[in-house]
Homo-oligomer: A and B are copies of this chain.
């Protein structure tokens, strides 16, 4: 007996049959005596199709119009799901983002939620109805339809759970939970029964891809209990909450990895003070995400800088650097692609020094050269050759006792 927010992504609502399945999942939770708010994404390939049409008409469609266009995707899903629930004998009401009182910044394509008026949803819940809300979208102060950018539906669900003081927010996906590492590539990957927000945040940022980091941050800030679970399987998923149960006392909770990384080096920078901030401002302006940054002073008069980006951003990055060669006062640029980033995550690291050392030992024992390193309190990341990525993941997963058959010893 409580209030549960459920979120179903694009794959889960990809067809009329899938929508029937989602309706059954919603009804099961309703029949448990809970009030239910459901947040849905656009059906499967809808967004791609809409983007495709826009691209046929313009190489650079206006962001306002893209929001207008893409927000129709979730609107189709909310009405179809509501129709399915009605047909199964359950009262339900659909809401677009603006109807659900979701207010955002006046930004298109990547707006943040600023406020939610809970009245529209609460009123329907009081009448005993299931409420279906379009994810990913909101309304700006000036009355424009906005979208929340990648992972937007996750954020909508968590934000609604926060303001409605829901007991839980269930994120339904195509995997059964959060794993110690990617089960598609690493044998013995094991589903975690629970994990802390910070650990999930590191894993989400490291490309584990189950849950968008913005949504996790939101959940952490408002202390929303999340569960990541499968929309197809009935088994329990992974709970994400402030203090995850540490039943296994593992220092490392997961191994994440990500390929298609390029390291760019800017050599012989004459005026490091000015150049450094300028470089990253210029890249940020073009929405190029810079991940690991390493600066080294080589002598009194010049320094060099390395940073990692996604392969796809290389051409644009080089163009920007070359265009601003004079202002940035450097000698030359170099780059190396075909790299990967591999990371270990776990809040136990804080009180366990030597974890990073152990990681480097394992990599060295496997003849894997570390090209860049980055650490946080609960994470160590290393950039290595892409060819060694899966070997490294296997070895680390084994070393830190994460494999399925090793736990509960």
Contact = CB atoms under 8 A, between A and B. Distances in A.
Interface of A: 16, 19-20, 50, 53-54, 56-59, 61-62, 64-66, 68-69, 71-72, 75-76, 78-80, 82-84, 86-87, 93-94, 96, 99, 120, 143, 145
Query: Top 8 A-B pairs ranked by shortest CB distance?
Result: A58-B87, A69-B79, A72-B72, A68-B79, A61-B83, A65-B79, A57-B84, A16-B56
Describe A's contact surface by its main secondary structure. Answer: helix
Contacts of A93: 64
A84 B58 contact: yes
A342 to B, nearest CB: 41
Contacts of A54: 79-80, 83
A16 to B, nearest CB: 5
Contacts of A120: 143
Nearest to A50: B76
A70 B16 CA distance: 16
Given A86-B61, A86-B62, A143-B99, A53 B80 contact: yes
Question: Could you say how many copies of this chain the assembly holds?
Answer: 2
A120 B61 CA distance: 22
A78 B68 contact: yes
A72 to B, nearest CB: 4
Nearest to A94: B68
Contacts of A84: 57-58
Contacts of A75: 68-69, 71-72, 75
A82 B94 CA distance: 28
Given A16-B56, A57-B20, A62 B82 contact: yes
A62 B83 contact: yes
A16 B78 CA distance: 26
Contacts of A83: 54, 57-58, 61-62, 65-66, 69
